[in-house]
Amino acid sequence: MASGAHQRRLPRLLSFQGVDAMTSPSSPSPGTPPPASPPPGRGGPPKGLLIGVGVVVVGAAVAGAFVLGRRSSSSSGGDEGPSTPLMSGASTNPVAAAQVEGLPEPTTAELEVPGTVAPQAVWLDVHHPPKVRDALARNTWLRSQLSQPLGQGFVGGWAAFFGSTGEDLKGDFKGAVLDLLVGRVGNTPFRVAWFAGDARASTPAFIVPKATKSATAAFNALDAVASRGTLTAKTCPGGTPTAVAEGLELKRWLVAEQTLWAGKTPDRLVMARHPVAVLQGLCAEVPELSAEDNVDVELGFQPESFGRDAQLFAHVLGLSPDTRLQFGVEGDRLVGRGIAGELMEGTVRLDKAALSDELLKLVPEETPVLLAMQLKLPETLSAETLKAFWKSGGEGATRTRQVAVVWTPRGDSALPQEVAVLWGRPEDGTALEGFFSGGSSRLQQATLCNHVVLASSEAELNALRMSCAGSKPSMLAAPGPVLAGLREPGSLAFGVNLGRLLSGLTMDGFLSESRVGRNAPIPKAAPPEIEAARRDLESLPYLGLRGTVQGDSLVPGGFGS
């Protein structure tokens, strides 16, 4: 989903001719590492408006990776019950599994410790791992995909890593490596964190902040047979002391030609693809992982790590760093619980209202991503009134604007992003045209279904026009539970059509890889396995999250198909 030079860039929604300079939070301190955002010149949708999209997609990937592999009925310890295999076809023969003969001898070296601490940009907290794991293990769709090209392509070379057994490795444990890691190491609340700043730490780190004796024993059992190298770190990033006085050891695990790095302290276990990510995970501050009984998974993000757009967006809405997306387990699937978090002290910039039928008629039913908000702004909208409004802290007469963003992410950087802003007050059209007239982009503007529409392309505008006119299905034709959820009064609504989103990205990715040269023709049709994968993906449900202002916090609510 990276953006290229050929893409059109949608200006930041709230960066109004100098207004952003007055509303933007203070700049990071000199010691703060640079945010992990695309370099200047790249196009694409404003991250500040659409950051939740990336968070949800990342969460879906982590949830899948959490259960990929197989879980054999032979547990690696005596404190876990029987489980159902996920990868019934995973091979455990000596050819597919790891070989212990001929492996390189372990070596030791000192790690070059980063000079700055990398903040956690995105994190996923799994509060009830056994509940989540069992639900995913029973999920019929996931189980069926593990034997199909879609699932096999996702697992890739890691199937042999996770499918290798204690017998293959001549280790002091039974069952597959996945059983060991998921059944014992990951059987207590854990966090998956993506760090900003140092590019070497950009791979996710699996962190168990309060490891049990069983988890530590399982960790040691795999380390005893898989360790093929050690890096030592005398300090944490930035020169701060480590939790272990003599420093930290980062172990290189090698199984089935796949490398995983791991490290531990007396009460914490960390694994990642890169040793710097492990070091950051061992040194990072991780709060106690706890949540309500019906919340099993939470996704959070740090706006400052995503650049000025995201920082400004969170500031304008009054969202605190505590804001998170919540999910729960119902039966054999994950469902949305809502958007939760505290609001910035003294700032209530969101109102409570239901999405209008005019807006729902304007949004095409096939839209992969929808973000809507009820935003309090000055009664009369202009650059001058906005400046005065932000400077006064939001005082004065206000009017609630219903604002929505529709987005079709693309899986090929050569393709333009398809994104549009829908503004629910036509009287603001002249002001909006002035706000968005600067820069090199030329947005398509029209008034449709009593909304001002600012679209990234004529094609995107035409799609909205057809939906408004009834020439193509709109969100009014969405499944009943989805439509009912969108009509519930709220302050923030975030919907992802997982099937349409992932199917489109799959096709874009296939076409991008098919272009072997500048003049190579685009294939007229995708191979049968690609079409089959797209059909399977399109069966995935619609996921909806809602947050409603109540006092100084957001009350979560979820919906979906």
> Strand 258-265 relative to strand 297-301: parallel, antiparallel, unpaired?
unpaired
State the pLDDT at residue 439: 53
Q: Which of 227, 238, 249, 216 minimizes the C-alpha distance to 111? A: 249
Q: What average pLDDT does this structure show over 156-182?
A: 83
Predicted confidence (pLDDT) at residue 357 exceeds the cutoff of 90: yes
For residues 239-258, give the mean pLDDT.
89
Q: How far apart are CA 68 and CA 152, in angstroms?
A: 10
Structure tokens at 509: 């990715």
| Distance of alpha carbon 446 from alpha carbon 304, whole angstroms | 33
Rounded to an integer, the average pLDDT of 349-372 is: 93
The answer to whether residue 433 scores a pLDDT higher than 70 is: yes
Element (H, E) at 390: helix 383-391
**Which SS3 state, helix, strand or coil, does residue 283 take?**
helix
Residue 36 has pLDDT above 70, yes or no: no
pLDDT at 516: 53
pLDDT of residue 58 exceeding 50, the answer is: no
Identify the weakest region by mean pLDDT among 122-131, 139-148, 165-174. Answer: 139-148
- Indicate the DSSP class of residue 474: B
- If 0-12 CB within 10 Å is exposed, 13-18 middle and 19+ buried, where does residue 333 land? middle
pLDDT beyond 90 at 139: no
Q: Which residue has the higher pLDDT, 79 or 197?
A: 197
Cα-based distances in Å from 370 to 124, 128, 312, 361, 557: 22, 29, 20, 13, 16
Res 33: pLDDT: 39
Annotate 413-457 with DSSP letters as a single string. Answer: TTSPPEEEEEES-GGGHHHHHHHTSSSS---EEEEETTEEEEESS
Which residues touch 492 (CB under 8 Å, ≥6 apart)? 317, 339, 350, 371, 372, 373, 374, 546, 547, 548, 554
Residue, of 233 and 24, whose pLDDT is higher: 233
Whole-number pLDDT of residue 212: 92
CA distance 294 to 213: 27
* CA atoms of 65 and 487, how far apart (whole Å): 34
The pLDDT, as a whole number, for residue 508 is: 82
Residue 48 has pLDDT above 70, yes or no: no
* Residue 61 confidence (pLDDT): 39
Core vs surface per residue 203-229: b (16+ CB within 10 A) or e: ebbbbbbebbebbbbbbebbbebbebb
Name the 3-class secondary structure at 353. strand
Confidence of residue 2 (pLDDT cuts 50, 70, 90): very low
* Token pair listed for 325: 């997306």
Contact 2, 38 (CB under 8 A): yes
Both structure tokens of 392: 């006064």
Highest mean pLDDT: which range of 18-27, 465-474, 506-515: 465-474
- For every residue of 211-238, DSSP letters joined together read --HHHHHHHHHHHHHHEEEEEEESS-GG
Query: What pLDDT shows up at residue 438?
Result: 59
**Token pair recorded at residue 276:** 């710097």
Q: Strand runs (DSSP E) across 157-283, as ranges?
A: 190-195, 205-208, 227-233, 248-255, 258-265, 268-272
- Lookup result for tokens 């932000």: 390
Closest CA to 412 of 295, 282, 506: 506
Average model confidence (pLDDT) across the chain: 77
CA distances from 350 to 56, 146, 432 (A): 22, 43, 20
Per-residue pLDDT tens digits for 294-314: 999 999 988 877 777 777 778
**Looking up tokens 């890739």, which residue turns up?**
156
Judge whether residue 14 has pLDDT over 60. no
Question: What are the extents of the domains in the chain?
Answer: 60-92+100-283, 348-514+522-560
Query: Is residue 12 very low, low, confident or very high in pLDDT (cuts 50, 70, 90)?
Result: very low
Mean pLDDT (whole number) for 314-329: 85
The yes-or-no verdict on residue 125 having pLDDT over 90 is: yes
Is 234 a residue whose pLDDT tops 50?
A: yes
- Whole-number pLDDT of residue 431: 82
pLDDT at 233 over 60: yes
CA distance 238 to 275: 16
Nearest to 180 by CA among 80, 282, 61: 80
CA-wise closest residue to 127 among 77, 177, 188: 188
Cα separations in angstroms, 103 against 156, 176, 226, 254, 271: 22, 20, 10, 9, 21
Output the six-digit token pair for 40. 């200047």
Express as a percent the part of the chain with pLDDT over 90: 33
